[in-house]
Structure 1
Amino acid sequence: MIDWSEGQWTHEPVRVEQAADGLHVEAVEGSDAWRLTSYGFVHADEHALLAPMPATGAVEVDFVAAFEAQFDQAGLFLCIDDEHWVKAGVEFADGVPQLGAVVTSGHSDWSVAPVPDWVGRTVTIRASREGNAVTLRARVEGEDFRLVRVLPLPEDAEVLAGPLVCAPTRAGLVVHFTRWATGPQDGSLHP
């Protein structure tokens, strides 16, 4: 387990409350992470609590997926610098919670898949790093991990990683994070 005090915020949230059951984070209205693609704008005001990620190993965050407004989101953020980062998690888009990832190398991309049965449940997002790749996986309580994405990452890159929350369209989003941990990398890409 990583203690919440070990991380530093990329941008301060409205409110952070540490409790016995985890960390409660209230996002600033309009907060997001995105670079250029399709929309033409740059948003770099996400709330990510970051600490160094090992060059070989994994990091996980758990949170409750309780979203209701367009683009409410929480998950895991991996950051090399302002133009090279990854966010993976659950985002409420077009009326449905979506499991997805945004990989940014100068420009952002976006992939999603609907997960309507994840509403109100605890979600784990895992990033496993080995060699020149990161494998993103996710699961909801009581289910196995599913593959979200495999992406390239320079072996020598210094990466910061940790919990992420954004509220692009509204005020008042509070996300309950229940765990932040590191561990060994995944044994293989396939079972």
Structure 2
Amino acid sequence: MEHPLRGEARDSGAVLVHKSIGGTDWWRTTERHSMDGPTLGFWHEGGDGFEVSAEICVNPKTQYDQATLFLYISPTQWVKAGIEFDADALWNGAVVCNPYSDWSIAKRRPEDSARYTIAYTHNEVKVYLGNDMIREVKWFGATRSNDATFGEALPGKVFVGIMACSPKDGGAEVSWKNFTFRQGVRAR
């Protein structure tokens, strides 16, 4: 969390534009632990849950360029959800690290919504593209014994915001529009 995202606000104040920085990423495997993708956001008490959303756009330059919503609990528990460029195409995707990165993607279509939402409650995270849930993970968040076998989740602060990175060269123009944050989560 030491690499703040730098960008410019456009005239409306509702759009943040940023050029990605090469050699940065959020990705965790048994062999690799990258946590240097620039972020912009705030710490929030988890409470009874919340939703964060934004419209995301990526004008890519190289493979793996990405712009996402970002939620961080610890070095082994975080979520990024947004658009990534791979195999000469844009992909809707979500990576949930719990404790290793688990990547799910679907090829982006012209009719797809640009709005991504992360809904967080203790023990659960859901990712939406428009109104459609594209990812759900149970047993997400800090617990008393850091595993899924012991009761109740622990309260705590969560970093909420946006992230852009380019594991290769960098220079992609990315933007977030109409960022929203609200207490509570939608009914299933």
**1:82 Cα deviation after fit:** 1.7
Instruction: Note if 1:153 corresponds to 2:144.
Output: no
Question: Aligned equivalents of 1:187 and 1:16: distance in 2?
Answer: 31
Aligned to 1:164: 163
Determine what percentage of the aligned residue pairs are the same residue: 26
In the alignment, which of 73, 77, 81 is matched to residue 80 of structure 1?
73
Q: Given that residues 41 and 162 in structure 2 are in contact (C-alpha distance below 8 angstroms), is that contact kept between their aligned partners in structure 1?
A: yes
| 1:52-131 equivalent positions in 2, closer than 5 A | 52-53=43-44, 54-55=46-47, 56-117=49-110, 123-131=114-122
Question: Aligned equivalents of 2:185 and 2:73: distance in 1?
Answer: 21
**1:34 Cα deviation after fit:** 0.5
TM-score by length of 2: 0.80
1:97-119 Cα shifts (integer Å, max 9, x gaps): 1111111123211111111326x
Instruction: Note if 1:11 corresponds to 2:3.
Output: yes
Instruction: Note if 1:46 corresponds to 2:37.
Output: yes
Question: Aligned equivalents of 1:136 and 1:122: distance in 2?
Answer: 13
RMSD: 2.2
1:79-138 Cα shifts (integer Å, max 9, x gaps): 0122211111111111211111111123211111111326xx872111112342121101
Query: Residues 125 and 178 from structure 1, CA distance in 2 versus in 1: closer, same or farther, beyond 3 angstroms?
Result: same
Q: Given that residues 33 and 43 in structure 1 are in contact (C-alpha distance below 8 angstroms), is that contact kept between their aligned partners in structure 2?
A: yes
Question: Aligned equivalents of 2:37 and 2:92: distance in 1?
Answer: 18
Q: Where does structure 1 differ by over 6 angstroms across 4 or more consecutive aligned residues?
A: none
TM-score by length of 1: 0.79
Q: Given that residues 61 and 162 in structure 1 are in contact (C-alpha distance below 8 angstroms), is that contact kept between their aligned partners in structure 2?
A: no
Query: Residues 122 and 27 from structure 1, CA distance in 2 versus in 1: closer, same or farther, beyond 3 angstroms?
Result: farther
Q: Given that residues 128 and 186 in structure 1 are in contact (C-alpha distance below 8 angstroms), is that contact kept between their aligned partners in structure 2?
A: yes
Query: Residues 130 and 81 from structure 1, CA distance in 2 versus in 1: closer, same or farther, beyond 3 angstroms?
Result: closer
Q: Given that residues 163 and 180 in structure 1 are in contact (C-alpha distance below 8 angstroms), is that contact kept between their aligned partners in structure 2?
A: no
Query: Residues 71 and 147 from structure 1, CA distance in 2 versus in 1: closer, same or farther, beyond 3 angstroms?
Result: same
Aligned to 1:6: none
**1:23 Cα deviation after fit:** 1.2
Question: Aligned equivalents of 2:17 and 2:129: distance in 1?
Answer: 21
Number of residue pairs matched?
Answer: 171
Secondary structure (helix, strand or coil) at the match of 2:62 reads coil
| 2:64 aligned partner, one-letter code | F
